[in-house]
Amino acid sequence: MSLKNFGKAALIVAVVAACGKNRVQVTDNGLKYQIHEQADSPRKGKVGDILTLHLTLLNNKDSILRDTHKEGAPFQMLLQVPPFKGSYEEGLTMLGKGDSATFYVSADSLFTRAMQPLPPGVQKGTDIGIAVKVINVQSEDEYKKTQAADFEKQKGIDAKIIENYVAKNGLAGKVQKTESGVYYVVTQPGSGPAPSRGDLVQVHYTGKLLDGKVFDSSKTNPQSGGKPVQFPVGVGQVIPGWEEGVMKMHKGEKATLIIPSTLAYGPRGNQGIPPNSVLLFDIDLIDIQKGQAGQPGMPQGMPQPGR
């Protein structure tokens, strides 16, 4: 074959490959998909792996239902056996690190299996588009090692941020610190007892970012109706930084907790809270009921465990 003809042949192969890459295909189990990018990585996702990926959910009119790019943190999931024919878990086994694709899954199957109603904008009998970009594929052991290393690194970063905040705001000499790294400043002493693990505490709280922006408050949160919230302390129903800080307080006391991200919402963040954020909480410990761990769980509006 002449070099001229070889060039034409190569061009044809490239065009065919490009067309095939974005062509909608269907697996034997009925999953419709488009591959957008696929490297020659030998490591594809398999059941039991932890996948880190960015994910965009689209309805049949291409309106975005969720986009982790805008949430500031990728989505992490344990890859499980596909729960139904045509589920996107099957498609994820085709992808490796750096690959991207869109899967089209029956909305009825997706939400009915999860025992959830169809969300606004999603019609019965339509498909949900799930666009994914795989950032990493790890075994459970690899994931745990990475998490531990990232946790230790972030602890050092948070400690420096808090130390700078304390110095800048003239809190040196006023602030106390727990063994795990929660800083707290008593703003109004209390004369009552301190809560023990399992006690039901009642508090008012206001949560802020370090720049002073309020992201939540029991006094204004419509879910709590402006009333104090209550929860059993020391049993994992709130973020670890709350557990430690509140158990250092006394009934009637008011304090400001400075909580490192590793004891708050970590790399995932939360609504109104960017990933890896050091947080401030103004806490008013109103009441303590001894040994009430068996009471119902915390009301809506409470910060959830940082996991």
Give catalytic residue positions.
205, 215-216, 239, 265, 281
**How far is residue 35's CA from residue 25's CA, in Å, rounded to a whole number?**
9
211 by DSSP, 3-state: which? coil
In what helix (H) or strand (E) does residue 214 lie, and over which residues does it extend? strand 214-217
**How far is residue 120's CA from residue 28's CA, in Å, rounded to a whole number?**
31
Distance of alpha carbon 149 from the chain centroid: 18
One-character DSSP codes across 266-292: GGG-BTTB-TT--EEEEEEEEEEETT-
Cβ atoms within 10 Å, residue 264: 25
6: left (phi > 0), else alpha (psi -120 to 50), else beta? alpha
**How far is residue 103's CA from residue 110's CA, in Å, rounded to a whole number?**
12
**Which residues contact residue 301 at a Cβ distance below 8 angstroms, ignoring those fewer than 6 apart?**
216, 218, 221, 223, 224, 229
